Structures are given as structure tokens and as C-alpha cells.
């Protein structure tokens, strides 16, 4: 699904160039649950921005679903991003005054492939998948943090994307709430969703099946995670 080779990213500053990614290569196949890990400043956000088509690499290649990024226009990248990728952020990024229903519906409004009459069923199914059926018409701003993140997961799911990017999804949550979110992501992965998680927290990454550690813009290690956390009591410290 994802194939990157010798990816490099420089940021040009005033008189100085920062190399955020030095030489990154890996493949991610459908159905994987990958944690991209590393300390602050290691290049995680830069890598995520490129993988999710927000930014282009300085050199190297990136193919998503067999399509090479260098062959795609900015318009095509935006369309693929809207229709084939789902996003979950640390800060939830919900519209506080809108209902759960309205928040989850937003990606469908921008998806020309889904006729309006199919939207309601899609929204209800996505909200049911995160167990928030009873909150459908509540204002998002009135929900608890973990409920907001569940709404964000429903919004990420509603277009039935090929991949879900989760950027520090537990960063604003206490550990019990973080565990709930990670259990939902693990469950979605078990049912076939490809998930790419960016985190600097080891306990969050342990829900993934593979960890790619980056350090100073290079891959430090890349391999399977064998120990899956199985219960909440194992997780809550
Ligand atoms: P992480 O997400 O792991 O904290 P980043 O990808 O944000 O790492 O940053 C990697 C490096 O690139 C850092 O040295 C950072 O200062 C630099 N950097 C990130 N974004 C920019 C930018 N827009 N302009 C200049 N330098 C940047």
C-alpha cells in the first residue's frame, strides 16, 4: 500500500538548511498496524506530513496504492487524501458547536463518490462503530475528551479509507482514556483497517504490531512488536 525509498526532506531557513529526514525507506502493506516512534525533533511529523500528502519530499520516492506521488498533481493528492485517508489528531479537531452527526458527516460532504442519500447510513454506522450511538445529536464541545476522540475516529472511518493516520491520538487523554482509544484502534485493525500511528509514548505503541523508530531523520530500528497488551488492568498504571 505504501512504499517509500530514500526519502529526504530539507527545510530551507534563512541561510541554513535543516535536514528533517535523511534517508528513509520502508513498505507498509494493507492490514498493518504500525507505530512510528522517536523523540521530539526526530522527524515523525515531517514523515507523517509526506505520507499523508500534505508535503512533498525533497528527494526520494513515495508510492501510495501503486501511484507515485511525483506523478500526481496537488489536486489529485488532495482528492486521494480526502477520499482514501482518515485522520485522528491529538487535539481532536472537532467543530465544537456542531453535533456528533455533523462532525462525522463532514468528510462525506467532500467525497464526490458518495451520493447525499447514502450519507446518513454511513454516519450512523461509523458512530456505532465507536459506541456513541446515544450521543449522535449532542454538541461535540460538550463531550468528554475520550468521547471527542471517539467522534474523531468515527469521522476518520466514515469514508471507509484505505489507511487511518493517528497522530499522537492519546496525547490529550489520561491513561485510562488513552487505553480505550488504543483498544478501539486495535479492534479496527483486527477487522482489517490499516493504521499508522505516530507516537512518542511506548505504552501507546504497544497496541501496534510493528514499530519503526526514527532518530535524527533516519530509521533506527524497524520490526514486529510481539507483546500485545490484552486488558485495561495491564495498561493502567
Ligand atoms: P518530530 O515530529 O519527531 O518532533 P519534526 O518532523 O517536527 O519532528 O522535526 C524534525 C526536524 O525538522 C526538527 O529539527 C525541526 O526543527 C525541523 N522542522 C520541522 N518542521 C520545520 C519547518 N516547517 N521549517 C523548518 N524546520 C522544520
Q: What is the pLDDT of residue 13?
A: 86
Give the per-residue pLDDT at 166: 96
Which stretches in the chain have pLDDT values below 50? 232-233, 235-237
Q: Which atom of ligand 1 is nearest to the CA of 11?
A: 25
Query: Of 230, 226, 206, which is closest to residue 37 (Cα–Cα)?
Result: 206
Rounded Cα gap, residues 196 and 52, in angstroms: 10
Nearest CA to ligand 1 atom 7: 45
Q: Look at residue 237 in the predicted model and tell me its pLDDT.
A: 40
Q: Which residues line ligand 1 (CB under 6 A)?
A: 11, 13, 18, 20, 38, 40-46
pLDDT at 202: 87
> If you take atom 25 of ligand 1, which residue's CA is the nearest one?
11
The pairing of strands 210-215 and 194-199 is unpaired
DSSP H helices, 12-144, are 44-51, 74-84, 100-109, 119-129
Report the predicted TM-score, pTM, of the whole model to 2 decimal places: 0.91
Which residue from 123, 121, 228 is spatially nearest to 185, judged by alpha carbons? 228
Residue in 138, 165, 167, 161 with CA at minimum distance from that of residue 151: 138
**Nearest atom (ligand 1) to Cα of 9:** 12
Q: Whose CA is nearest to atom 17 of ligand 1?
A: 20
- What confidence score (pLDDT) does residue 200 get? 87
Query: What integer pLDDT is reported at residue 236 of this predicted model?
Result: 47
Amino acid at each position: 500500500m505504501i512504499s517509500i525509498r530514500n526519502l529526504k526532506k530539507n527545510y530551507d531557513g534563512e541561510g541554513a538548511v535543516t535536514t528533517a529526514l535523511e534517508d528513509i525507506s520502508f513498505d507498509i502493506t494493507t492490514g498493518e498496524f504500525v507505530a512510528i516512534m522517536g523523540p521530539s525533533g526526530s522527524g515523525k511529523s515531517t514523515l507523517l506530513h509526506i505520507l499523508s500528502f500534505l508535503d512533498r519530499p525533497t528527494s526520494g520516492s513515495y508510492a501510495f496504492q501503486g501511484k507515485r506521488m511525483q506523478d500526481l498533481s496537488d489536486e489529485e493528492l488532495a482528492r486521494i487524501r480526502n477520499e482514501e485517508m482518515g485522520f485522528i489528531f491529538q487535539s481532536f479537531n472537532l467543530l465544537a458547536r456542531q453535533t456528533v452527526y455533523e462532525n462525522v458527516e463532514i468528510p462525506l460532504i467532500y467525497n464526490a463518490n458518495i451520493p447525499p442519500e447514502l450519507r446518513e447510513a454511513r454516519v450512523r454506522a461509523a458512530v456505532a462503530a465507536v459506541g456513541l450511538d446515544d450521543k449522535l445529536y449532542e454538541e461535540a464541545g460538550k463531550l468528554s475528551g475520550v468521547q471527542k476522540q471517539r467522534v474523531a475516529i468515527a469521522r476518520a472511518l466514515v469514508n471507509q479509507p484505505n489507511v487511518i493516520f493517528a497522530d499522537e491520538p492519546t496525547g490529550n487523554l489520561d491513561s485510562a482514556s488513552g487505553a480505550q482509544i488504543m483498544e478501539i484502534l486495535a479492534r479496527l485493525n483486527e477487522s482489517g483497517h490499516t493504521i499508522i500511528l505516530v507516537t512518542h509514548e511506548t505504552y501507546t505503541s504497544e497496541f501496534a504490531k510493528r514499530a519503526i523508530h526514527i532518530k535524527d531523520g533516519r530509521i533506527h530500528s524497524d520490526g514486529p512488536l510481539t507483546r500485545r497488551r490484552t486488558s485495561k488492568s495491564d495498561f493502567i498504571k
